Structure 1
Amino acid sequence: MQSRKKRTTNFEKNEQATTTAFEAIDNLALTMITRKNRDEKPTLLETNEFLMSLGRSSCDTPGGRLIQTRTDTGAYFKIPENAAAKLCVDGSVGSQTYFTPRNPFEYSPNAGDVRTPVLGLSVLGDRQKVPVSDLDEDERIEYINPVTTENTIMVEGTATLSNSGQITVHNFNTTAPGVAFFIRVVPQNSADVNVTFMAYLKRGSEVSPNDYSHNATLRRAGDTADVTGEPSARPFAWFLSQAAVNISDEQETWTIGIQHLPTVDENGRTSESGVNYTISITASRCLFFSEMSKLWTDSGCEVGPETTHERLHCICDHLTAFAGFAAPNPLDLGKAFTFDLDRSLIAIATVCVVLALYMVAVSIGRRLDIQDERKRQKRAYRHLSRSATPGKRLLSWHLWASVVKPPVNHFSRVQRISCCLSLLMSFMLVNIMFYRGDRNFVPKPVTVGDTELELPFSWDTFIIGLESSLIALPINVLIVVLFRYAGARPDASAGVTSSRPGRTERHGFIQKGRHGVDIALPRYLPTVEGAGSRYGTDYTANQTLHVNRLRTERSKFDSDWA
């Protein structure tokens, strides 16, 4: 409760400070604009994170006007000629423009939606601001706002031929309603710059050349979109307006499929190989700050067709403080797959080799298990009960090492080999979930003093290894435990029911051996009937019969000796 109260107090202080600062800035601007002559060079006021430009231009200047604070910001306003006539006051247009890379209205409840710099434009009259709103369509004011691209995520893929019946598919999720899409599909190889991509888009998790809602042809000279998209002068680019995609929910799943048309080389031969590309999808929305509701909203503004992954183009029918929601791919580009065998050849070959080695190992392991069982049967009559050495304990608990020489128990080699295969395949499957082409795992060097150290692994790979272990190990440990502690299978040929589990009595006859160690008869002993040899092949789980036989033989031996 105290932290919430403290946060509310901080927001109130931020609002008060911001309001006071802008009131002082506006008063300064209204004072300075009266001293400006028409068509005089704009006056620039600059602080660390705030730029303001004041200018006055003649109303009789033909054409539209381009107003900005400074050229290197990349932000500017474009006022059409029809709107300039409405903005005239006493034969001139006074303007106040500001630019700040940080959001000054952080006290707004939805301030987190702002992901671009904030810029504003006001028309100044005689000691007051001139309100501008409800402009007609041909009078609307446009502005360009730069978008940072340092966090842009690129996803790689391979486009198949349009006549192959295959398609590479990417799924992504939107994170806000009312956004527009800017899609780029750029070939990775410079030799493929003349390739023509076919893009198919649809809401949902599936798309195909026969089932889509939007499609476009993307080429080096720009795209040729269908009636629901806007043509773009950018190569291999596709812009879809807010009205075209019509996203009303915050979370929606969309799917885009990529193919390429057949290409002809210099010798006139048609290439049938896949084309590697990089795709990025930017979701954009234009926002302005409402001083009445203290919220960022997009009412009266729409995303313009000049929007790219580097800048946001907005068209509005009013003036205020503007910003934008431009997500340079915070979209969940979850998967990229195709049925092209060439891309999956290494993975398929790896799985096939692993399965082949598994079959060979199972064949050898089964043969060794049978040999071990025969050796145990021959040693059953004089089995020594000795404590296991540390080395044997380690061999028993190490899954991979125990395959070569397992300890004497019912956890066979075949079962251990199967557990090893399960462990290997589980880790391969889990790693597929994390290692995709849209992530960079190159380790970053660490600087210690004046020395730059190259790490053998990146922090991302360490985290992925830890996550993979937490996902794959529990289920495999459970499998191993089930095999290790499962009861031995009863011998059906003995015809006698084995001892019940849980009994604590010894299953054998104990006496001192020749070397001072206890000789313990095993649980499975030679039967009395038909046991002509000391190492008979028929066994029973009933030790009472065998003990009685030994006592009888001992009494006969004592009477003969006497």
Structure 2
Amino acid sequence: MDNVQSALLNWKKVDEAPVIVNSSQITVFVNRVSTETIQMQSINIPDSSSASFSFPPLGADVLSPDEPVDVRVSVHNPFSWSEENNITGTVGSVSLTRGNGSVIPIENLSEEIEIFLPRPEGVQANSTILYLGNYSTLMVDVPSPDVTLVLKIKPSKNITFQLFLGYKDYPNDKQYIAKTQMPHQSNTQEEKYTWVLGPKDLTGKVGVHYLVVRPIVEAGVKSVNATVTVTSIAAQCKYWNETLSTWSEDGCRVGPLTTLLATQCLCTHLTFFGNSFFVMPNLVDVSRTAELFGTFAQNPVVVCFIGSIFVAYVLVVIWARRKDIQDTAKV
């Protein structure tokens, strides 16, 4: 692969259009750019669902301002033979080299490189609408101890609310494994309503977690007529550790701009990057239905919604039973 990329770079001039070779098995991208250019634009393959890379400012101790940089990108997984190959999404690599082909080491950066890795095809969104009374509870199943849980929240109104996450039990003000308040202080709408919980935040716990969403209201207000839509995503950002010949995670994390379309990976070094992506089923905690009916005055919207479901169910059962009797009589 290195020889192919070197051959493609032989006659390249600085800041021209990149050379792209695309096939069903592998995609190769090479370009020769100035140090200013590489820090001003995203490196991606046009008209492709391949990975993209954006560099933070790199000082003169990393890139010489007087020497152009060769950018080498490939999109394929050469490590599928690994017994620990648990990468289900896109795999891409980027490296920077000098004109003579020597690699420019990029590692232990103070600012992270941004990588977007497209999600696997066929992964469907699984969103749940919660009706906010005094609180609403959602069950989320975390599949593995090394995943990052990304919660995307979309409120129906401009309200402030708290989120509590508990493990195998309902969280409260004093007992939880993580909590936050939204909207977050951020420049983008996406980040204001995204909660990223890494493996350390989840303390390695696997299985059912309970998410409680509680609106913050003024004194004397007993309920809020609003909803939030919750989408939970489990994602991983890994890199190929050449020393250990395995996929590792240190120096890489899942970013808040992760969506249903792509995983945002933030890393402090360059190598092969891969991701795994899951959209987890969300389940409304119906075990608290009786408790909701006991507080109708505080939570009328939720109670009416649940009650209408039961009424519809009963009507369907009655109709089906009558049809069976009519069919039997005809026979």
CA distance in 2, matches of 1:319, 1:114: 18
Of the three residues 150, 156, 159, the one matched with 1:182 is 150
Of the three residues 261, 266, 269, the one matched with 1:318 is 269
Of the three residues 11, 31, 36, the one matched with 1:55 is 31
Written as runs of structure 1 = structure 2, the 5 A alignment for 1:24-103 is 25-59=1-35, 61=37, 63-70=39-46, 72-73=48-49, 75-82=51-58, 86-88=62-64, 91-100=67-76, 103=77
Counterpart in the other structure of 1:340: 292
Of the three residues 95, 105, 126, the one matched with 1:122 is 95
- SS at structure 1 position matched to 2:190: coil
Q: 1:144 to 1:88 in 2, by over 3 A?
A: farther
Structure 1 residues 448-492: Cα deviation after superposition (integer angstroms, max 9, x where no partner): xxxxxxxxxxxxxxxxxxxxxxxxxxxxxxxxxxxxxxxxxxxxx
Q: 1:232 to 1:209 in 2, by over 3 A?
A: farther
Q: Is the 8 A contact 1:199 1:257 kept in 2?
A: yes
CA distance in 2, matches of 1:204, 1:84: 51
- SS at structure 2 position matched to 1:176: coil
Q: Is the 8 A contact 1:180 1:285 kept in 2?
A: yes
Amino acid paired to 2:184: T
Query: What is the CA-CA distance between 1:335 and the residue it aligns to?
Result: 4.7
TM-score for both structures, normalised by structure 2:
0.75
Structure 1 residues 278-309: Cα deviation after superposition (integer angstroms, max 9, x where no partner): 32211222111234433222132122333233
Give unmatched runs, 5+ long, in structure 1: 1-24, 264-269, 354-400, 402-562
CA distance in 2, matches of 1:46, 1:118: 15
Of the three residues 131, 135, 149, the one matched with 1:159 is 131
Query: What is the CA-CA distance between 1:271 and the residue it aligns to?
Result: 9.9
Q: 1:349 to 1:45 in 2, by over 3 A?
A: closer
Structure 1 residues 494-552: Cα deviation after superposition (integer angstroms, max 9, x where no partner): xxxxxxxxxxxxxxxxxxxxxxxxxxxxxxxxxxxxxxxxxxxxxxxxxxxxxxxxxxx
Q: Is the 8 A contact 1:202 1:255 kept in 2?
A: yes
Counterpart in the other structure of 1:106: 80
Q: Is the 8 A contact 2:53 2:114 kept in 1?
A: yes
With 292-301 and 63-72 compared, the bigger mean Cα shift is at: 63-72
Q: Is the 8 A contact 1:173 1:252 kept in 2?
A: yes
Confirm whether residue 214 of structure 1 aligns to residue 178 of structure 2.
yes
Query: What is the CA-CA distance between 1:159 and the residue it aligns to?
Result: 2.5
Q: Is the 8 A contact 1:154 1:278 kept in 2?
A: no
- SS at structure 1 position matched to 2:132: strand
Query: What is the CA-CA distance between 1:352 and the residue it aligns to?
Result: 11
Counterpart in the other structure of 2:300: none
CA distance in 1, matches of 2:235, 2:141: 13
CA distance in 2, matches of 1:324, 1:336: 30
Written as runs of structure 1 = structure 2, the 5 A alignment for 1:357-376 is none
Query: What is the CA-CA distance between 1:320 and the residue it aligns to?
Result: 1.4
TM-score for both structures, normalised by structure 1:
0.47
Amino acid paired to 2:285: A
Amino acid paired to 2:201: V
Written as runs of structure 1 = structure 2, the 5 A alignment for 1:246-395 is 246-249=202-205, 251-260=206-215, 272=223, 275-329=226-280, 333-337=282-286, 338=288, 339-341=291-293, 342=303, 343-346=305-308
- SS at structure 1 position matched to 2:58: helix
Q: Is the 8 A contact 1:301 1:314 kept in 2?
A: yes
Confirm whether residue 245 of structure 1 aligns to residue 208 of structure 2.
no
Larger radius of gyration: 1
Confirm whether residue 204 of structure 1 aligns to residue 164 of structure 2.
no
Q: 1:290 to 1:119 in 2, by over 3 A?
A: same
Counterpart in the other structure of 1:146: 118
Structural RMSD (CA): 3.6
Q: 1:78 to 1:60 in 2, by over 3 A?
A: closer
Q: Is the 8 A contact 2:62 2:104 kept in 1?
A: no
CA distance in 2, matches of 1:84, 1:306: 29
CA distance in 2, matches of 1:96, 1:246: 36
Written as runs of structure 1 = structure 2, the 5 A alignment for 1:413-428 is none
CA distance in 1, matches of 2:106, 2:48: 29
Q: Is the 8 A contact 1:303 1:315 kept in 2?
A: yes
Q: 1:236 to 1:320 in 2, by over 3 A?
A: closer
Q: Is the 8 A contact 1:65 1:81 kept in 2?
A: no
Q: Is the 8 A contact 2:21 2:28 kept in 1?
A: yes
Q: Is the 8 A contact 1:115 1:327 kept in 2?
A: no
CA distance in 2, matches of 1:51, 1:185: 35
CA distance in 2, matches of 1:301, 1:234: 21
Query: What is the CA-CA distance between 1:232 and the residue it aligns to?
Result: 5.9
Structure 1 residues 107-154: Cα deviation after superposition (integer angstroms, max 9, x where no partner): 11122x21221111012234534052532313x422111224743352
Q: Is the 8 A contact 2:50 2:90 kept in 1?
A: no
Q: Is the 8 A contact 2:165 2:210 kept in 1?
A: yes
Amino acid paired to 1:215: K
Query: What is the CA-CA distance between 1:35 and the residue it aligns to?
Result: 1.3
Amino acid paired to 2:209: W
Structure 1 residues 15-37: Cα deviation after superposition (integer angstroms, max 9, x where no partner): xxxxxxxxxx2201112213111
Higher relative contact order (CA 8 A, sep 6+): 2
Q: Is the 8 A contact 2:123 2:278 kept in 1?
A: no
CA distance in 2, matches of 1:351, 1:76: 49
With 78-87 and 46-55 compared, the bigger mean Cα shift is at: 78-87
Query: What is the CA-CA distance between 1:55 and the residue it aligns to?
Result: 0.6
Query: What is the CA-CA distance between 1:92 and the residue it aligns to?
Result: 0.9
CA distance in 2, matches of 1:46, 1:322: 19
Q: 1:84 to 1:271 in 2, by over 3 A?
A: farther
